[in-house]
Structure 1
Amino acid sequence: MDDERQRLDKWLWFARVAKTRSLAARLVVEGHVRLNAKRIETPAKPVGPGDVLTIALEQQVRILKVLAPGTRRGGYPEAKLLFDELTPGVQRLE
């Protein structure tokens, strides 16, 4: 895997979509994540810049465009640099 791609569960955790990496993996395994409109059930599936994720969470459905792989799980200001929020009605904070 090259530097531009990263495991889906790890990316979801770095982007602060899930509180833990195991919860991120569970989201994927249980079928709550679509990668470029295709249902994904493998947490190790590589994602990279340009990919679009549709994530069904408990209270909402989020649509995120991957901008970059993560290097660590930082705070929200760092995490928001990894994606572009495409969810209708949600403004991306700058």
Structure 2
Amino acid sequence: MRLSPEQQAAIRRIVADVAGSDAQVRLFGSRLDDSARGGDVDLFVTLERPVEQPALVSAQLSARISRHLQGRRVDVILSAPNLRTLPIHDVARREGVLL
């Protein structure tokens, strides 16, 4: 995994601040490959409660985490009881690593 323990802790803290302490966050995609270089940070955030403004929550998470990672691009996918499940959700859930 190409995130330091400090970066992982910061991501968990930001997710808790924005989405609630019960939110889970998984890293998936190219950042799991230790032999790769560069690439964005793909995060899958699971919420136990419905989210009223998913685009806003996703954008807030992406912006705050990106700022913490010195401008690295961050993609956030949300999962909540009121949101549609897409194939990317299955991939992220299956391949992602819980932070």
TM-score by length of 2: 0.30
Give the structure with the larger strand fraction.
Answer: 1
Give the structure with the larger helix fraction.
Answer: 2
Whichever of the two has the greater Rg, that structure is: 2
Higher relative contact order (CA 8 A, sep 6+): 2
